[in-house]
Structures are given as C-alpha cells and as structure tokens.
C-alpha cells in the first residue's frame, strides 16, 4: 500500500523498498536473458485499407523462468538505465532480420513490405550505434522489404544535430524512419521536413476516444492533413473497433495497427497467420 504523506509526497516505505528490490532483480535477470534465450520476438501486423498485412512491428517479450511473461513496459526502462539496451536491441535487430530472411526463403506473401523495430533513444545516441549495427544490416540483406526504425520525438528534441547525422547515414543504408507515439512528445515541427522520416504513427491516445463516425478528432485531422502536405505516410495505432477503422479510412488514413486486427503474436504464430493472410 502507498503511504501518502500529508503534503502529497510518499515516504520511502516497505512498498518502495520492494519496488527497488524487484527492479534490481530485473536488472540482474536481464544480464542472463539474452544468453539463456529468454527474450522473444512478437509481431503485430500493420494492415492496409484493403485489409492486407503490409508490414509488422516487432515487440519484445521476456519469458522469465520464475516470473512468467514480463512486459517491455516493465523492463525496457531498466535496460536503458542499466546500460543493457544496446545489447538487447542489437539482438532484436539481428533476430528479426534473420527471421524475416528465412520467411522470405520459405515463402512470404509479396504484399508484406516492411518491418518496424523500436530503437530506444539511449541506444540510438550511443557513439558506436551505427558502427555496431552496420554489420548486422549487411549480414541479412532483405529484398523488397523495408527495415524501419521507430524513434520518438524526444530523441530529436534532445539531440537534434547528432540524431540528424545518424539518420542520414542510416537512410543511405536503406533504413527508413517512423516517428512513434506522434503527438505525445514535445513536438517540434521543424524536424519533419528536414529529416529522412517516412511515417508518422498516431498514438492510440488520440484514437481511443473515437466512438462514433460523427465524433470529432481535431488532432487526428491535423496530423493527417500535415502528413499529406509533407508527403508522409501515417499509421494509426491502437485501432480497436470497426468504427475507428472506418472513421480513419474516411479521412484518408490508409494504414492501421491495433487489437481490432490482431494483438501482437509470437513470431511463429505471426508467420502462420501471414501465410494465411487472415486478419479479423
Ligand atoms: P509502442 O512502441 O507504442 O508499441 C505499441 C504498444 O501498444 C504495444 O504494447 C502493443 O501491444 C500495444 N497495442 C497495440 N495495439 C493496441 C490496441 O489496439 N489497444 C491497446 N490498448 N494497445 C495496443 P507492448 O507490446 O506492451 O509494448 C509496450 C512498449 O514497449 C512499446 O510501445 C515500446 O515503446 C516498448 N517496446 C517494445 N519492444 C521494444 C524494443 O525492442 N525496444 C524498445 N526501445 N522499446 C520496445
Ligand atoms: Ca513502436
Ligand atoms: Ca507507439
Ligand atoms: Ca506508446
């Protein structure tokens, strides 16, 4: 239980002690997670207005031997703060490319065109970020499938010059970029037409309130209009209902991701599903 002080602050009580302890356990556990093969790639389809799966986002899961499945919301920040995020995301990149390459060899619908990977700002800003991922990209060249890095606005705000430089180098290696959770960070519009950005992902915060086709969603309208003017693609995140899909389709948003189509799936299940090309 939270012991809330009279003036609103919390005391360092038993529950906080437990929190610190479990954080430390996570940090220790993460060291072993890669070598013990406890991390798993899950994928969530990205679906076009025609209902075709044109890509997927890779979402990491940690299958802990005692604690069961741990959400990335609970361990990514620990990985960032303990300096383990680079090793983890390099693993994600390599495993993803390896997997997609093997799927291509086994047979993958030609309509599957891109794979998105989340890159943490603290990983992206490592001095050796590019030199460490280049060999991975070279090792698994993918034909006709774009590799997209999802980054957040805050990365650009805090490190504009260096981030810009790295993005341009990576663009030359064939990487494309999307802005994740667009609209929720400290947006600066100046970067949008200066950087090699291809896609804006509208955060589900803006999609969730849409209940009927008559609703108003001014932020969604503005993002779609701006993207159109700038020649950017838009993916709506967190689409959970047919009404939301239709609402977005009527406004020209042609790509969707969300539980309405599919939750994230274990990579094996994802591959089986995409071979059947069946969503909802
Ligand atoms: P995100 O990048 O914004 O990913 C989307 C999250 O929304 C995923 O949660 C996904 O399962 C969830 N989601 C998708 N559709 C719906 C929907 O219709 N409704 C609702 N309520 N939720 C939906 P997940 O998989 O728990 O991942 C949480 C966050 O963890 C991700 O948010 C991302 O920020 C982070 N994450 C996951 N894998 C990685 C990684 O490899 N590297 C980094 N840096 N972050 C990662
Ligand atoms: Ca993402
Ligand atoms: Ca997102
Ligand atoms: Ca998010």
Across the chain, what does the average pLDDT equal?
Answer: 91
* Helical segments of 54-149, H only: 72-81, 85-106, 121-124, 129-139
How deeply is 170 buried, as exposed, middle or buried, from its count of CB atoms within 10 A (0-12, 13-18, 19+)? buried
Predicted local confidence at residue 193, as pLDDT: 83
Give the pLDDT confidence score for residue 158 in this predicted structure: 83
What is the per-residue pLDDT across 261-277, written as a single tens digit (0 to 9) for each?
999 999 999 999 999 87
Q: Indicate if the pLDDT at residue 213 is higher than 50.
A: yes
pTM of the model: 0.93
CB 204 within 8 A of CB 194: no
Both tokens of 229, joined, read: 């003017």
Pocket of ligand 1 (CB under 6 A): 44, 59-60, 71-73, 76, 89, 92, 118, 120, 180-181, 204, 238-240, 257-259, 264
Report the nearest-CA residue for atom 3 of ligand 1: 181
Residue of minimum CA distance from atom 23 in ligand 1: 238
**DSSP for residue 4:** B
Grouping H, G, I as helix, E, B as strand and the rest as coil, residue 57 is strand
Confidence of residue 174 (pLDDT cuts 50, 70, 90): very high
Contact 264, 43 (CB under 8 A): yes
pLDDT for 2 equals 47
How far lies 273's CA from each of 264, 270, 277, in Å? 11, 5, 6
Percent residues over pLDDT 90 in the chain: 78
Instruction: Please name every residue paired with 56 in a beta bridge, in sequence order, or none if there are none.
Output: 45, 115
Ligand 1 atom at shortest distance from the alpha carbon of 120: 44
Instruction: Summarize pLDDT for 6-25 with one digit per residue, the tens.
Output: 555 555 667 777 777 788 88
pLDDT at 1 over 50: no
Q: What tokens does 87 get?
A: 């090793």
Collect all residues with Cβ–Cβ distance below 8 Å to 255 and sequence separation of at least 6.
Answer: 46, 47, 48, 49, 54, 233, 234, 235, 236
Mean pLDDT value across residues 55-78: 94
30 has pLDDT over 50: yes
Length reported for the chain? 280
Q: What is the ipTM of this complex?
A: 0.97
The reported pLDDT for the residue numbered 159 is 87
Cα separation of 8 and 235, whole Å?
40
**What is the average per-residue pLDDT within 206-230?**
96
């Amino acid at each position: 239980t939270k012991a809330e002080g009279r003036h609103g602050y919390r005391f360092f009580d038993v529950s906080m002690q437990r929190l610190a302890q479990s954080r430390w356990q996570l940090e220790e556990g993460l060291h072993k997670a890669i070598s013990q093969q406890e991390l798993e790639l899950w994928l969530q389809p990205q679906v076009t207005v025609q209902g075709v799966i044109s890509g997927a986002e890779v979402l990491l899961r940690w299958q802990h031997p005692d604690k069961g499945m741990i959400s990335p919301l609970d361990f990514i920040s620990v990985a960032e703060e303990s300096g383990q995020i680079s090793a983890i995301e390099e693993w994600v990149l390599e495993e993803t490319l390896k997997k997609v390459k093997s799927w291509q060899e086994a047979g993958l619908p030609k309509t599957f065109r891109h794979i998105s990977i989340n890159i943490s700002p603290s990983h992206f800003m490592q001095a050796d970020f590019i030199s460490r991922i280049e060999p991975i990209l070279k090792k698994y060249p993918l034909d006709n499938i774009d590799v997209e890095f999802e980054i957040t606005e805050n990365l650009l705000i805090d490190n504009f010059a260096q981030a810009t430089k790295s993005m341009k180098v990576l663009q030359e290696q064939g990487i494309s970029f999307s802005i994740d959770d667009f609209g929720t960070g400290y947006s600066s519009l100046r970067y949008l037409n200066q950087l090699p950005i291809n896609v804006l992902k509208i955060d589900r915060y803006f999609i969730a309130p849409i209940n009927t086709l008559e609703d108003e969603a001014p932020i969604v309208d503005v993002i779609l209009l701006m993207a159109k003017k700038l020649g950017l693609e838009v993916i709506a995140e967190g689409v959970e209902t047919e009404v939301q899909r239709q609402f977005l389709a009527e406004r020209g948003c042609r790509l969707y991701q969300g539980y309405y189509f599919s939750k994230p799936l274990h990579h094996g299940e994802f591959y089986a599903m995409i071979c059947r090309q069946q969503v909802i």
